[in-house]
Structure 1
Amino acid sequence: MLFSELLEASGAPVKSRRGEAAVEGVALDSRQCRKGSCMIAAKGETTDGHAFIRQAVAAGASAIICQDDSLTDPDVACAVLDDTRAWAGPIAQAFHGWPSRRLTTIGITGTKGKSTTAYILRSILTHVGRKAAVLGTIEYNTGGRSIPAPNTTPDGVQLASLCAESLNAGCTHLVMEVSSHALDQHRVAGMEFNVGVFTNLSGDHMDYHKNADAYFAAKRKLFEGLSPSSVGVINVDDDRAASLVRAVCGRVITYGIRGQCDLRAQIERIDSSGMRMALCMQGERRVIRTSLLGTHNAYNCLAAAGAAVALGLGFEAVAEALEQDIKVPGRLESVETHAGFRVLVDYAHTDDSLRNVLSLTRELCAKGRIIVVFGCGGDRDRTKRPRMARVAEELADVLVVTSDNPRTESPQSIIDEVVGGFTPQGRRKAIVEIDRRSAIALAVNEAREGDIVLIAGKGHETYQIIGAAREHFDDREVAAQAVAAREGV
């Protein structure tokens, strides 16, 4: 593809252009440039791609898209835009022939439940014979391969490549989580979602967005960007729902448990093997049993069901699909034991998600104790540290505070802020163990018959970030090792 053709196909508003070149790839990172690459120099949160233009050219880049052509070699083809970051996605989509337009795309945003909703929706689509790629916090799965996800939502260049890969793998649908960071940073620019799903909004990422209104405004962009032919699927029980409904210019499907809505659920029973609930929509009612547990998962089922209905699937087929065994990595994932107690691993890493999981755990643990292992991430929202402590104190019996991706912060300082959220009574039932492996072993060894050990914070993650180093660490593996050591296996 010629450079001029790429720019025209993307629709990017070019201020100026010089030179012509053959383009054989698109990159945001100079380290990914090869012979024939088009380097898009964009300003990020901590680095500016303009500082690496020379490295891109040295690596073989044939064209540069930037905001200041004075930094480029006059012999290299170059185009100037006002905002390169906002156009990286459309340019990459144009290079790949706009694969996103040949997929049915579903974007899911919200504080909690995005991953589970995405997995449930993929399960529904698979049940009715559709092949769906899933991109999100747990993995980027294109239908042909799965890679660990470095971010919930990939940047626009990688996203276009993943769309092309999914299409080539035979996928008809793309289900993806859309984070507030991604919306704020234009990572999904160029995506024309057929369905936008809102799960909920609660306190998180205040280190980035600074306040709740800015956080919500970022989430709202997904719905403001939907076309008149697209559908918004919105949790009506959330306080911000009305604002999102107003933002959608096309059809809206509302869901909930408490409020007036199009798609409603009523939980009838929860036990250790699953949940029985009634689904109601437009006069139709169907009682289902799902392997998922808890009120928060009832909402996730509703969100996925609403998206499926928005895609044209019948209510009966959707209800039937929800009864399939659905497993989501690191979401209330059980570790096998033989000593009469249970060990669960969950991704809960905010006060609200911890409350949901601990409340459910209490329902499952009528006679025993709840032993919770938790910590808070470094270089992230500090305001949730004391809030998580208060939730743990309220709902658990033994509190084991430990490290959870401390990054460049002092692990002890983070723990001190968490412990500062306990009341004097809470401190008396708290145990501090800075080493996460030792903390998990301590909790497992503390457990008695009837108890549940909940290891919160990492879920599906397979690493611990200390300083700038990412070391292998999987709560599920470590818990299984602790159980085996206790049982003498």
Structure 2
Amino acid sequence: MPHPRAVPEVLAFLRDLEPSVRLVAGAAGRAGAMAGVVGGVTLDSGAVRPGDLFAGLPGGHCHGAAYAGAAARAGAGAGVMLSDRASPELPCIVVPDPRRVLGPLAAWLHGHPSRALAVHGVTGTNGKTSTTHLIAAGLAAAGRRTGLASTLEVRAPDLGRPAERTTAEAPDLQAFLAGCRAAGATDVALEVSSHGIALDRVTGVRFRTAVFTNLSPDHLDLHGDLDGYYAAKAALFTPERCELAVVGVDDAFGRRLARTTRCPVVTVSGEGGAADWRARDVRATVTGTAFRLTGPGVDREVSLALLGPHQASNALAAVAALVSTGLDVDDVLAGIGTFPALPGRLERVDAGQPYLALVDFAHNTGGHRRLLPFLRSLTAGRLVVVMGATGQRDPGKRAALGRCVAERADVVVVTDESPHGDDPAMLRRAVADGARAVRGAQVVECADRAEAIAVAVAETGPGDVVVVVGRGADQTLVTGGDVRWFDDRVALRAAVLDREDAGDVPACG
């Protein structure tokens, strides 16, 4: 639980961070506002409790300060609001950039939980989730009590739940870390998105290690361009935030980060390049991945249950992070070597069919460039891919996605993938146009996702590979204001079984 603080204490703390902080008392009057006590922080006006500080932040669609009245009626009337604008309905602590101070404030109220934990953060374009879970597996095998927060789940010792976003908002993240501390955790493995860094969700967290996996175009709707995207990632790797940087140097951005960060650096190369830790002789098959791991005083043969040569890079980063902080390499490898496949990450769907069917989360060009050559290596036949593009994201990547996949697949089935507020037909057309720009590409457009998966399965023959990409283990499709349940793995299994029972499925349309 947070440590309640009087409003004057909160103001003094915030003024150390931002001298321009001021209190606008509103109807409560200054004496009434200053007499308040802050017992917690929330961004959700419907979740406030008496004495909470309600953070009314600017957002993509509306400003949180518009919900000050709802927060007051829900029980925050004895508390205050933190925002960049005042409201007559709640006393307000006004600060120019409320996000910048929200994380440190939440950390302070919770007694700075990350200082009592070894927090291992993982960022990068691809491989974040797998590396985060591999770190957690290595920690557990080494006897550490471990919390975990990733795209897939949030787990404190003896407690788990699905994740709502890759990196939680600052008050929720600090509450999670405090819960881990209270449960006796020693370590936390934390997936860190570029949104989590740029929107200050991890500000106030002290990292024992921070891992950089790789960087390729993604999320440019938020960051503007690739340099802005890199800058967001690189902001995690400062001495004020992390004690040790573990940097993958198989791309130019990783090499740049390793040269420029002021943190102590350990470098890793999943391609056997010049680095402190290297993966060599990587062998990836349909049953798992093996490689030779070398590092300072370490030379081991490693076998993973995970599919894809890229998992050697992820495992290498996890080992380097943990062994560099003093854990025994054989303990760590025992956990990593027995770690099972993650849901929706090259997850096989096997109903006895004579071809390989999988679901994967790959949703950007970097992910496809890692995934599809591996799948191509598994077959002398055809590679069939079901794909789409999520709406209200970087429009510049849609055609590039289609082109990237068509260059590496034999058949591309383009379908809807959570259009949100965008026109689904426009999204499909952009992806399909990119795919059709590849000479000789076989492209099918099919709006209904279940039907598209069935069409792809119908195109798949003995010895072929069919993969549904983009969503992984996600179980919702969002179209406008409509949210419906949909699981690619369930739909793929149904299509495989239907084909086995009834023969080929008619073409889409």
TM-score between the two structures when normalised by the length of structure 1: 0.93
Does the 8 Å contact 1:279/1:285 carry over to 2?
Answer: yes
How is 1:73-472 mapped onto 2 (pairs within 5 angstroms)?
A: 78-224=92-238, 226=240, 230-256=243-269, 257-365=271-379, 367-423=380-436, 429-472=442-485
- Counterpart for residue 22 of structure 2: 16
Determine the C-alpha separation between the residues in 2 that align with 1:245 and 1:226. Answer: 17
* Partner deviation per Cα, 1:26-59 (whole Å, 9 max, x = no partner): 1123222222212123223332222222322222
Does the 8 Å contact 1:337/1:343 carry over to 2?
Answer: no
Determine the C-alpha separation between the residues in 2 that align with 1:192 and 1:5. Answer: 23
Count of aligned pairs: 485
Determine the C-alpha separation between the residues in 2 that align with 1:425 and 1:209. Answer: 29
Tell me the CA shift for residue 217 of structure 1. 0.6
* Partner deviation per Cα, 1:375-404 (whole Å, 9 max, x = no partner): 111111122222222222222112111111
The answer to whether residue 500 in structure 2 is matched with residue 487 in structure 1 is yes
Tell me the CA shift for residue 342 of structure 1. 1.4
Does the 8 Å contact 1:123/1:326 carry over to 2?
Answer: no
Determine the C-alpha separation between the residues in 1 that align with 2:438 and 2:234. Answer: 41
- Counterpart for residue 66 of structure 1: 82
- Counterpart for residue 26 of structure 1: 41
Q: Secondary structure at the match of 1:454?
A: strand
CA RMSD of aligned residues (A): 2.2
Q: Which moved more, 1:6-15 or 1:418-427?
A: 6-15
Determine the C-alpha separation between the residues in 1 that align with 2:210 and 2:398. Answer: 31
TM-score between the two structures when normalised by the length of structure 2: 0.90
Distance 1:93 1:429, change over 3 A: same
Does the 8 Å contact 1:220/1:247 carry over to 2?
Answer: no
Gaps of 5+ in 2: 24-29, 503-509
Tell me the CA shift for residue 224 of structure 1. 2.3
Gaps of 5+ in 1: none
Q: Secondary structure at the match of 2:322?
A: helix
Determine the C-alpha separation between the residues in 1 that align with 2:74 and 2:98. Answer: 21
Identity in percent: 35
Determine the C-alpha separation between the residues in 2 that align with 1:424 and 1:90. Answer: 49
Tell me the CA shift for residue 134 of structure 1. 1.6
- Counterpart for residue 507 of structure 2: none
Tell me the CA shift for residue 258 of structure 1. 4.1
Determine the C-alpha separation between the residues in 2 that align with 1:68 and 1:274. Answer: 51
Determine the C-alpha separation between the residues in 2 that align with 1:102 and 1:336. Answer: 44
The answer to whether residue 8 in structure 2 is matched with residue 2 in structure 1 is no
Tell me the CA shift for residue 346 of structure 1. 0.1
Tell me the CA shift for residue 310 of structure 1. 2.8
Tell me the CA shift for residue 246 of structure 1. 4.2
* Partner deviation per Cα, 1:301-349 (whole Å, 9 max, x = no partner): 1111121123211333333433213321110001112121111000001
Distance 1:312 1:72, change over 3 A: farther
Distance 1:122 1:272, change over 3 A: same
2:52 to 37, 56, 69: 37
Determine the C-alpha separation between the residues in 1 that align with 2:221 and 2:125. Answer: 14
